[in-house]
């Protein structure tokens, strides 16, 4: 996990199946598989993290203003 958060991309057989066929056989899933899946790619991209944070703040402000009206 330390390698993943430090920016090193780690691939497994489940990642290969998902990338090639957009599905993962049940035999290749294990407990905690979702945590290690590539859905967390934004952790590797500092620009992506900043854009996500900015969009979160803008959306939160917009929803707050809409609720106050």
- Taking the domains of the chain in order of start, what are their residue ranges? 2-68
- Which of 41 and 6 is assigned the larger pLDDT? 6
Q: In which residue are the tokens 């900015």 written? A: 54
pLDDT in tens, 18-67: 777 787 777 767 776 666 666 655 566 778 788 889 999 999 999 999 98
pTM (2 d.p.): 0.42
12-40 burial, b for 16+ CB within 10 Å, e for fewer? eebbebbeeeeebeeeeeeeeeeebeeee
């Amino acid at each position: 996990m330390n390698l993943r958060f430090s920016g090193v991309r780690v691939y497994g057989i489940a990642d290969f199946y998902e990338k090639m066929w957009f599905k993962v056989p049940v035999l290749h899933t294990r407990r905690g598989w979702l945590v290690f899946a590539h859905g967390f790619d934004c952790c590797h991209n500092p620009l992506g993290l900043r854009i996500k944070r900015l969009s979160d703040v803008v959306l939160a402000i917009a929803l707050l203003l809409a609720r106050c009206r």
